[in-house]
């Protein structure tokens, strides 16, 4: 008989796990979500996949990033062949460096990446202006006292192999493709607890009744913490708020044939086509035990911050604004992919904090490998 696997949560992580499980493991798979797909953090995400351009060069964090970047290259084509097209910007990421002192670190990263087989380019300000004419080389900064200083771009780091994907559309495509492979999805069903027999989990409880399982994968984002309380080693997650917006510029900017994601001062400027862009995201921590709430000036600062490196943003129309809560693990690095304490048949696959879209493929693969090894 095929093993029964329940995946709790259908954000990008749960959907990706279900998709990879359906390819790699012969099992009876059911995904359960309280709402419809991509309603949690995934619905707020910008889908920027900062793999090669990240400063992580070794260990688990780099391995997960590298695996994900590789998988993304084949995944979108694979989905396309099955009839599901997902917006994917493969023109790379340009990161603006305003600090000369940080340049040596970027040069070291470039060498390291070359040795790992990944290209990175370091552009002079002149090259940046030629390739991305909409990006300003000089910008004015105002300090708390209102004093102004002029700041210049020292260089731009271009990562052609990094990319950006539409997180909600990808999640929906994964759900549709996975359904075609026989996986069941139960939406509108909140998992209220895990049913135990000794130290083994035998299923999950929802308002609609009990569903039996041999394996439970907890990929419920922030909701994973409460469900993990059944263990002597529960997972602690901190909600970190992010605000973002969609804007439309008054006219076309840059080179129409080359529209990479631009990252300046940790603000992502994400091209969507037809002069529309996403801008994001703020990083707002809770104060004590109080969950973070959107700070009024967060969006204003975002737009002003981005307008420093692309002036056209200052006059843009704001089409939409939103926020979401990122699941950040407390006391351990993100993401958390491991059994829930001594409950060996419950696997935590959560706590992806700022990089859940990026790391979803590697997370799904790690879950598959874990199950295959058992
Ligand atoms: C503004 C913003 C911008 C971001 N930008 C990026 C980016 O550019 N790149 C990137 O890689 N990451 C980005 N992130 C981070 C990313 O969104 C998250 O890391 C990722 O979405 C986490 O995915 P998830 O599937 O684990 O969680 P979620 O998307 O939160 O999904 C969890 C799901 O579990 C369900 N659930 C919870 N509890 C239960 C329960 N008890 N029973 C049933 N269902 C339950 C929820 O309904 C939800 O659908 C961003 C986040 C924010 C907020």
Residue pLDDT, tens place only, 138-177: 988 877 788 888 999 999 999 999 999 999 999 999 999 9
Length of the chain equals 374
Structure tokens at 293: 């709430």
We find that the CATH architecture of domain 1-89+164-236+330-374 is 3-Layer(bba) Sandwich (3.50)
pLDDT of residue 60: 96
Q: Which H or E run contains 138?
A: strand 138-142
Longest dimension (CA), the chain: 72
pLDDT of residue 209: 93
Mean pLDDT to the nearest integer, 105-131: 98
Q: Which H or E run contains 325?
A: strand 317-329
Q: CA-CA distance, 212 to 183, in Å (whole number)?
A: 15
Query: Secondary structure of 223-242 in the HEC alphabet?
Result: HHHHHHHHCCCCCCEEEEEE
Burial of 28 (C-beta count, 10 Å sphere; 0-12/13-18/19+):
middle
pLDDT of residue 17: 98
Structure tokens at 234: 């529960």
SS3 18: helix
SS3 173: helix
Q: What angle do helix axes 356-373 and 59-81 make, rounded to 10 degrees?
A: 90
pLDDT of residue 14: 98
DSSP 273-285: ETTEEEEE---B-
| Residue whose CA is at the smallest distance from ligand 1 atom 5 | 45
Give the N- to C-terminal CA distance of the chain in Å, as an integer.
16
CB of 244 within 6 A of ligand 1: the answer is: yes
Confidence band, pLDDT 50/70/90 cuts, at residue 1: confident
Closest listed residue to residue 267, CA positions, set 278, 259, 251: 278
pLDDT of residue 11: 98
Mean pLDDT to the nearest integer, 229-245: 97
Of ligand 1's atoms, which has the minimum distance to the CA of residue 12?
A: 25
Mean pLDDT to the nearest integer, 325-350: 98
Distance in Å, CA 274 to ligand 1 centroid: 27
CB of 41 within 6 A of ligand 1: the answer is: yes
Task: Judge whether residue 111 has pLDDT over 90.
Answer: yes
Residues 6+ apart with CB under 8 A from 64: 335, 359, 362, 363, 366
pLDDT of residue 249: 98
Q: What is the pLDDT of residues 260-310, one digit of tens each?
A: 999 999 999 999 999 999 999 999 999 888 888 888 899 999 999 999 999
CB of 328 within 6 A of ligand 1: the answer is: no
Distance in Å, CA 73 to ligand 1 centroid: 22
pLDDT of residue 367: 98
pLDDT of residue 120: 98
* Beta carbons of 64 and 359 less than 8 angstroms apart: yes
Q: CA-CA distance, 240 to 318, in Å (whole number)?
A: 23
Distance in Å, CA 43 to ligand 1 centroid: 7
Task: Report residue 302: phi and psi, to 5°.
Answer: -60, -50
**DSSP percent split of the chain into helix, strand, coil, nearest 5:** 35, 35, 35
Structure tokens at 178: 């996975």
Residue written as token pair 């990161």? 95
Mean pLDDT to the nearest integer, 78-98: 97
Task: Report residue 85: phi and psi, to 5°.
Answer: -100, 135
Mean pLDDT to the nearest integer, 173-194: 98
pTM of the model: 0.97
pLDDT of residue 144: 79
Q: CA-CA distance, 139 to 365, in Å (whole number)?
A: 43
pLDDT of residue 295: 84
Q: CA-CA distance, 127 to 355, in Å (whole number)?
A: 29
Q: CA-CA distance, 251 to 307, in Å (whole number)?
A: 15
Confidence band, pLDDT 50/70/90 cuts, at residue 238: very high
Alpha helices in the chain (DSSP H): 12-24, 41-44, 59-81, 103-116, 125-131, 167-180, 223-227, 298-309, 356-373
Half-sphere exposure of 246 (CA within 13 A, CB side): 11
Structure tokens at 222: 């922030």
Of ligand 1's atoms, which has the minimum distance to the CA of residue 192?
A: 41
Residues 6+ apart with CB under 8 A from 183: 18, 21, 22, 29, 30, 31
- 159 has which bridge partners? 93
pLDDT of residue 143: 78
pLDDT of residue 289: 82
Distance in Å, CA 178 to ligand 1 centroid: 19
* Beta carbons of 306 and 244 less than 8 angstroms apart: no
The chain-wide mean pLDDT, for the chain, equals: 96
Q: What is the pLDDT of residues 28-65, one digit of tens each?
A: 999 999 999 999 999 999 999 999 999 999 999 999 99
């Amino acid at each position: 008989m095929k093993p029964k696997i329940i995946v709790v949560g259908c954000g990008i992580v749960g959907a990706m796990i279900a998709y990879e499980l359906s390819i790699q493991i012969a099992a009876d798979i059911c995904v359960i979500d309280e709402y419809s797909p991509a309603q949690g953090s995934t619905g707020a995400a910008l889908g920027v996949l900062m793999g090669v351009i990240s400063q992580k060069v070794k260990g688990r964090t780099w391995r997960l990033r590298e695996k994900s970047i590789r998988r993304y290259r084949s995944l979108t084509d694979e989905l396309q062949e099955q009839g599901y097209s997902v917006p994917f910007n493969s023109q790379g990421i340009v990161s603006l460096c305003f600090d000369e002192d940080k340049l040596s670190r970027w040069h070291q990263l470039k060498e390291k990446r070359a040795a790992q087989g990944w290209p990175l380019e370091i552009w002079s300000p002149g090259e940046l202006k030629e390739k991305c004419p909409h990006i300003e080389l000089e910008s004015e900064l105002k300090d708390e006292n209102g004093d102004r200083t002029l700041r210049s771009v020292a260089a731009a780091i271009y990562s052609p192999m990094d990319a950006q994907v539409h997180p909600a559309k990808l999640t929906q495509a994964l759900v549709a493709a996975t359904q075609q492979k026989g996986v069941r999805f139960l939406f509108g069903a909140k998992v209220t607890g895990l049913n135990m027999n000794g130290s083994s989990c035998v299923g999950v409880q929802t308002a609609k009744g009990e569903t039996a399982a041999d394996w439970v994968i907890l990929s419920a984002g922030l909701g994973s913490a409460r469900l993990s309380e059944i263990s002597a080693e529960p997972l602690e997650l901190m909600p970190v708020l992010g605000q973002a917006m969609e804007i439309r510029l008054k006219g076309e900017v840059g080179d129409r044939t080359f529209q990479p994601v631009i990252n300046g001062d940790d603000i992502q400027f994400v091209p969507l086509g037809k002069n529309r862009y996403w801008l994001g995201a703020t990083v707002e921590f809770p104060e004590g035990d109080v969950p973070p709430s959107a700070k009024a000036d967060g969006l204003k600062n975002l737009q002003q911050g981005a307008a420093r490196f692309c002036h056209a943003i200052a006059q843009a129309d704001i089409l939409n604004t939103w926020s979401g809560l990122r699941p950040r693990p407390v006391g351990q690095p993100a993401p958390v992919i491991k059994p829930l304490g001594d409950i060996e048949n419950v696997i935590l696959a959560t706590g992806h904090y700022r990089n859940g879209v990026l790391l979803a493929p590697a997370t799904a693969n790690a879950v598959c490998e874990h199950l295959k090894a058992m």
